[in-house]
Chain A
Amino acid sequence: MNHSYIDKYADLDSPIHRIHPRIKIILFFGLVLCVTLTGRTAYLSFVIYGTVLFIIAVFSKIPLLAIFKKILAVIPFVVLIAVFIPFFNKENGWIVFSSIVIKACLSIFSMTLLTSVTKFTSLLKGIEGLKVPKIFIMIMSFMYRYLFLLIGELQRMQRAKESRTLLKTNNLNVIKTLSNIIGVLFVRSYERAERVYLAMCSRGFDGEIRTLDE
């Protein structure tokens, strides 16, 4: 299956990629924090943040077009929520609107860069170092491990459905069939989780996860 959307550029080699994940996380999270806490009319600061992010992007050797495509994909959602602000806030509506869109874009730029230069597994390892409860990290790493498997399963079921439904039917039938697919996926995932757990138990799992690089 195709899962290039996670970790596509995380295996490149650049000065930015080589920085310790925890430092990268602090750097990019810090940038997001700064962006959100900056005043609404501090346009000079926005320009500085944008330039810093742009320089990092150039040094990280990630195709800039790919990053901008990723930002562009998220922007419609941002504008959709923000678009009604100028109409109801007569005094400074456009200032609020533009500052929110700029802030959202800068934050997305920062987070996109972080996930493009850090592998998801090292991202989790780095977050763990920031005192996030271990149980969440373990759940997230499990989720990451099984996500591709379940998405693959879903895609296979969809393909099976499409190859059997040649005639055009109304939307209600399509929604019913797709909902049943989710039902099947749930039962299969649950049973898979039970098998995984039993397999872990038979290998001596006692609630503690140990990795080789500890």
Chain B
Amino acid sequence: MHIPDGFLAANTWVPAWIVSMGGLGYCIKRVSVFLKDKTVPLMGVMAAFIFAAQMLNFPVAAGTSGHLLGGVLAVVLLGPYAGAIVIAVVLAVQCLVFQDGGLTALGANIFNMSFIGAMGGYIIYNVIKNLIGGNKGIIIGTAAAAWASVVLASSACAVELAVSGTSPLRIALPAMALVHMLIGIGEAFISVVVVSFVLKTRPDLIYNNGEEAAYE
């Protein structure tokens, strides 16, 4: 889902950069209100955590392997604004150092994964969490949001490729969405196991979990 350079036309990547930068600026503003000078060390170490978690290879089937994307994991643990920043920083470092995702496409990649995937996922998570309530709500919310975030982010990617004239929408969108509906199951499973582990060991570290929130 990391779009490389050359796939997007300027009519897509320029607006995507502008929207992403504006969105990230707003996120930083919201995060520094409650994290204050803790923002930099916490976000930095958490970005390193997501990066390391993405390096872990999970066996899938027939010898293939996949890895966690971690968008919903980040927003469930850190909240929507901090989660979006962490994912964006991870994408930027992957683009600069590992050429994973293009430079001109970085804005679009941040838009897809930080805003559509992670933040969109957070909205779904939040609704389900409040509807069901308790730890059960957190678990079910995480599962649904993780699955939806992968599908939504890949659909956004397909729309951008279509707007750029790279591939027609009526083929790219169903193809991307269908493949990622399968990938999303793995993402949901891993996210649920990680979140239930944190619920068992340090429930206070989950964002907005009862009164004893870690951010105070």
Interface residues of A (CB under 8 A from B): 5-6, 29, 32-33, 35-37, 70, 74, 77-78, 81-82, 84-85, 88-89, 96, 99-104, 106-108, 111-112, 115, 120, 123, 133, 135-136, 138-147, 149-151, 153-154, 158, 171, 174-176, 178-187, 189-190, 192-194, 196-197, 200-201, 205-207, 209
Q: What's the dominant secondary structure at chain A's contact region?
A: helix
- Interface 1/0s, chain B 157-177, versus A by CB < 8 A? 000000000111001100100
Q: Is the CB of A104 within 8 A of B102?
A: yes
Pick the residue among A103, A176, A205 that contacts B37 (CB under 8 A). A205
Interface residues of B (CB under 8 A from A): 2-8, 10, 13, 24-25, 28, 32, 36-49, 51-53, 55-56, 58-61, 68, 77, 85, 89-90, 92-93, 95-100, 102-104, 166-168, 171-172, 175, 186, 189-190, 193-195, 197-198, 201-202, 205, 214
Q: Is the CB of A150 within 8 A of B49?
A: yes
Chain B, residue nearest A120 (CB): B97
A-B pairs with beta carbons under 8 A, tally: 218
Report the minimum CB–CB distance from B7 to chain A (whole Å): 6
Q: Can you list 23 contacts pairing A with B, beta carbon distance less than 8 Å?
A: A5-B98, A32-B5, A35-B5, A36-B8, A36-B13, A37-B10, A74-B4, A81-B3, A88-B171, A100-B7, A115-B99, A140-B47, A140-B93, A142-B47, A146-B45, A146-B48, A147-B51, A154-B52, A175-B59, A183-B193, A184-B197, A186-B198, A196-B45
Sample of 8 more A-B contacts, CB < 8 Å, known A81-B7, A107-B103, A175-B190: A33-B104, A146-B44, A158-B56, A176-B193, A186-B77, A190-B205, A200-B41, A201-B37
